[in-house]
């Protein structure tokens, strides 16, 4: 056989093997996590009740503040996106009278999560700290708005 034919067969076998391996890595019965930009996957389990969602949001806020204080900006986006995912779940779980407020707060917090991701990726400590403070204010405003409805 010629070298080119052997090389072509080898490449074909390699492609077939790697394609099968990547499919085999997904656990059966579980959907893969949504891929965010940058190749990271984020999966946040959303609790069943609004009260438990708020507890988890506050826990993630603490983790976000901690990683930013430690200047571990590479981890900031994980917590910001977890908060975003939890807040996005609120409109479906709050009373109908509060749904518009929850959706508006969700949009603002989604934008702030993206801002934290960008500033963290740029290793901009002060900008990330400012974005985290903005997110804290937005979360407090959302919580207050939902309590008054």
**CA-wise closest residue to 116 among 130, 131, 103, 102:** 131
Residues of the chain with pLDDT under 50: 20-39
Long-range contacts: 126-133, Cβ < 8 Å, 24+?
128/68, 128/73, 128/76, 129/68, 132/64, 132/65, 132/68, 132/76, 132/80
**Residue 139 burial (CB < 10 Å; 0-12/13-18/19+)?**
buried
* 10 Cβ neighbours under 8 A, 6+ residues apart: none
Distance CA 149, CA 145 (A): 7
pLDDT digits (tens, 9 = 90+) for 100-131: 999 999 999 999 999 999 999 999 999 999 99
Question: What structural domains and CATH numbers belong to the chain?
Answer: 37-148 (1.20.120.290)
Cβ proximity of 138 and 87 under 8 Å: no
Distance CA 38, CA 114 (A): 12
**CA-wise closest residue to 126 among 41, 45, 69:** 69
> CA of 133: how far to CAs of 11, 71, 100, 114, in Å?
52, 15, 23, 14
Answer yes or no: pTM beyond 0.85.
Answer: no
pLDDT at 54: 95
Torsion angle in degrees (nearest 10) through CA of 80, 81, 86, 92: 130
């Amino acid at each position: 056989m010629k070298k080119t034919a052997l090389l072509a067969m080898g490449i074909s076998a390699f492609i077939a093997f790697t394609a099968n391996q990547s499919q085999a890595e997904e656990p059966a019965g579980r959907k893969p996590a949504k891929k965010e930009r940058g190749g990271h996957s984020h999966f946040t389990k959303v609790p069943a009740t609004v009260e438990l969602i708020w507890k988890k949001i506050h826990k993630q806020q603490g983790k976000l503040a901690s990683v930013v204080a430690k200047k571990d900006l590479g981890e900031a986006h994980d917590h910001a996106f977890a908060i975003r995912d939890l807040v996005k779940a609120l409109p479906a779980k709050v009373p109908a009278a509060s749904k518009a407020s929850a959706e508006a707060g969700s949009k603002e917090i989604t934008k702030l999560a993206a801002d934290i991701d960008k500033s963290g990726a740029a290793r901009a400590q002060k900008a990330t700290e400012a974005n985290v403070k903005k997110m804290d204010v937005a979360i407090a405003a959302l919580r207050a708005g939902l309590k008054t409805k």
